[in-house]
Amino acid sequence: MQIELELVRYDDELDKFELDETIYQLDLSEDDEKTYHLLKDSDLHLYNWLKDSDFFTKYIKEEVYLESENKKIAISDINGISFRRFYFFKVTSGDSHYEYFKKLFNIHEESDWQDREDIGEEILQCLSTKRKELILELG
Amino acid sequence: MDNKYIEKMLSKMDKDLSEHGMSRREAMKIAGISGAGLFMGGATSASAEEEKIVKSNAKGKIVIVGGGLAGMSTAARITLNIDNPDITVIEPQKLSVSYQPGQTLVGGGLWDEGDIAYERDNFVPDGVKVIKEKAILFNPQENKLTTDKGTVVSYDYLIVATGLQLDFERIKGLEEAGRAYSAGDNSKLLKALGDDGICSIYTAEGATKTWEQMQKYIAQAKSGKKTKFLFTHPNTPVKCGGAPKKIMYLTNARLKEEGARENAELVFYPNGGAMFGVPEYHDAILGQFKRENFKWHYRHNLIEIDKENKIAVFDAKWQEKGPWDPVMKDFEVIPKHEKVRVPYDFIHIVPPQLAPREIAESDLGSAKGWVPVNKETLQHIRYENVFSLGDVAQVPMGKTGGSVRKQYKVLVDNLVSLMNGKELTAKYAGYTVCPLITDIGTVMLAEFDWTVKPTPSFPFDPTVERWMWWLMKVYALKPMTIYGMLSGRA
């Protein structure tokens, strides 16, 4: 089985992500394919499995970023499952992203007082920690 | 329990019931709460909650900062759970245990300040020491704090229950009001509010002033002059989210009593986009607003008062569909703001509310100022020997006496576990209750928790306004709080 991957590059100095416009194809072994199917409905488990897999790191280093020294990347899409909101969320992002992060970060909205801007800032604070978990240092 | 108080309360209640042709027993039967000891006159501090507590012999110096309802109830509870505990409460305010939920009733002219004033020194549990000073510096790394008089207090376990501050000074035009606490001397605040239609029930003295101002403008409406009553709700968490609406309903009731309603316009300006965080209660309140011919404008936050011209200035917010974001593959949402100037005759202000400065600026506070705790165990997220509860704790929907009633038992169970080297297993589930007064004589008992669903304790539709809950609000909740919670049992 082959999966499609999209990636983002992380700039340490600017603390910014940049989308790599290329769509990459990664072959999965039979065992990895089974794992993929098990995890595909649980986006962050899928992400962490792939990020921590040796075959993935090897593929990135040998076929995607051959000059990988000091490079930091993250995965933006796995077969259409998008992680872009983790890198590009902003206060003006759409409601679906707010709903996703409120659930993920257990941000309880008291709708009789909380402003969208307040929640947006809280999400950005939570993301500053979460992003560190998602970034893969290529060495 | 003070039997004289109970007898007086029951006598008033019986009079009220007999006017409705009903005995106390019949009333309780209808409510399905015939076993409720407080209603039936069998109330003692022990009967408020029958439970057997096996006392722990855990050792350690426990310091509680704040001797209000949360702090003093916790102190009392610890004395029931630990043999000869070493407890110190730091509280400068003489009337710290006053009954804040009654401020709405004072503002509506149903009670007076004397009905809600309770002195700290009458509710100090046996063996508990009180330092009548204000804790102003915290050093949680060394388990020490310092008071405004320079007393250094060390502790093994710290409980933060300072309550919150009312940030009137954030509103332009009211800067000289400063920040206030609910109880105590608020003469500076009252001077800043003046006598020209500006009021707030969020302090005890302010509640009395609210009733004075309300009568003045009801009289104006009665005289035939069109009179505009505004009610606000700020952009911060507030204690008792129902109070901003309760005082509106009571104003409406008093206007109707005086036959002046047709000359009055009542308008609610909440910062949020809904009447209540729980959809079922939101829908019910919206129905009540329509029935009572109230007006409302969502997403309006009061930012300025022009006292001279009697104009309230709101930051009005709305959202517009923004451009397509090709990276996120979604349309952006653009927040918009504009200042809206609204003339008023009478304005009830619910001030922005925040953690006391000394907490917010210490290592105990979060970026937002509140004490960051695990919302279930109430243990500080960085200092394991520190707990927090009540208004100052960073717990969703937790700023009511009803929340504290659940929190303080959880906190004490977990404190005892920690002192005994055991796992913290007691959990707060977010329960809170808001007896929403909708008229003189009716209350909607809004109970809910973090599921954001109604969690009624009684087998009735919780969205229906009932006279029975009015009786509970006016007659039963205060003794349950003052004599039940402050003895650590209810």
A108 min Cα distance to partner chain B (Å): 6
Average pLDDT over residues B128-148: 98
A29 min Cα distance to partner chain B (Å): 31
Rounded CA separation B73/B312 (Å): 39
Which of A91, A97, A117 minimises the CB distance to B328?
A97
Check CB contact under 8 Å for A113 and B233. Answer: yes
Average pLDDT over residues B441-470: 91
Average pLDDT over residues B285-296: 98
Instruction: Give whole-number Cα distances, B198 to B175, B213, B229, in Å.
Output: 14, 8, 10
| Contact residues, chain A to chain B, C-beta under 8 Å | 19, 82, 84-85, 88-97, 108-118, 125
Q: Which residues of B touch A115 (CB under 8 A)?
A: 235, 271, 317
B274 shares contact with chain A (CB less than 8 Å): yes
Average pLDDT over residues B362-372: 93
Confidence of residue B298 (pLDDT cuts 50, 70, 90): very high
Rounded CA separation B106/B113 (Å): 6
Identify the structural domains of chain B with CATH numbers, from first to last: 45-92+132-164+355-430 (3.50.50.60), 168-353 (3.50.50.100)
Report which of residues B2 and A18 the model is more confident about: A18
ipTM for the predicted complex comes to: 0.86
Rounded CA separation B358/B364 (Å): 9
> What per-residue confidence (pLDDT) applies to A110?
55
Q: Of A11-15, A112-116, B97-101, which gets the smallest average pLDDT?
A: A112-116
Q: Which residues of A touch B328 (CB under 8 A)?
A: 84-85, 88-89, 93-94, 97
Check CB contact under 8 Å for B335 and A117. Answer: yes
From first CA to last CA, the distance across chain A in angstroms is: 28
> What per-residue confidence (pLDDT) applies to B36?
42
Check CB contact under 8 Å for B450 and A108. Answer: yes
pLDDT above 80: residue B403: yes
Report the chain A residue with the minimal C-alpha distance to residue B239: A113
Rounded CA separation B442/B10 (Å): 19
> What per-residue confidence (pLDDT) applies to B4?
62
Report the chain B residue with the minimal C-alpha distance to residue A19: B327
B233 shares contact with chain A (CB less than 8 Å): yes
A31 min Cα distance to partner chain B (Å): 32
B426 shares contact with chain A (CB less than 8 Å): no
Compute the CA torsion angle B343, B282, B102, B197 (nearest 10 deg).
0
Confidence of residue B45 (pLDDT cuts 50, 70, 90): very low
Burial track B150-164 (b if 16+ CB lie within 10 A, e otherwise): eeebebebbbbbbbb
pLDDT above 50: residue B33: no
Classify residue B179 by its DSSP letter.
Answer: -
CA B47 to chain centroid: 25
Side-chain-side CA neighbours of residue A39 (13 Å): 16
A107 min Cα distance to partner chain B (Å): 9
Average pLDDT over residues A46-61: 95
Rounded CA separation B237/B469 (Å): 25
Classify residue B113 by its DSSP letter.
Answer: G
Check CB contact under 8 Å for A113 and B331. Answer: no
B331 min Cα distance to partner chain A (Å): 6
pLDDT above 60: residue B50: no
Round the average pLDDT of chain B to a whole number and report it. 91
Other beta carbons less than 10 A from residue A54's beta carbon:
7
Q: Of B90-94, B119-123, B165-169, B464-468, which gets the smallest average pLDDT?
A: B464-468
pLDDT digit string, tens, across residues B183-206 = 888 999 999 999 999 999 999 999
Check CB contact under 8 Å for B329 and A113. Answer: no
Check CB contact under 8 Å for B276 and A112. Answer: yes
Which of B237, B317, B333 minimises the CB distance to A92?
B333
Rounded CA separation A20/B423 (Å): 47
Residues of B assigned a catalytic role: 240, 434
Using an 8 Å Cβ cutoff, are A123 and A98 in contact?
yes
Q: How many CB pairs under 8 A join A and B?
A: 74
Rounded CA separation B112/B98 (Å): 12
Q: Give me the residue spans of the domains in chain A.
A: 2-137
Confidence of residue B7 (pLDDT cuts 50, 70, 90): low
Helix (H, G, I), strand (E, B), or coil: what is residue B103? helix
Which of B237, B317, B327 minimises the CB distance to A88?
B327
Check CB contact under 8 Å for B277 and A111. Answer: yes
Helix (H, G, I), strand (E, B), or coil: what is residue B392? helix
Q: Which residues of B touch A85 (CB under 8 A)?
A: 328
> What per-residue confidence (pLDDT) applies to A123?
94
Rounded CA separation B211/A95 (Å): 42
> What per-residue confidence (pLDDT) applies to B20?
65
pLDDT digit string, tens, across residues B300-318 = 999 999 999 999 999 999 9
Average pLDDT over residues B269-277: 91
pLDDT above 60: residue B44: no
CA B354 to chain centroid: 13
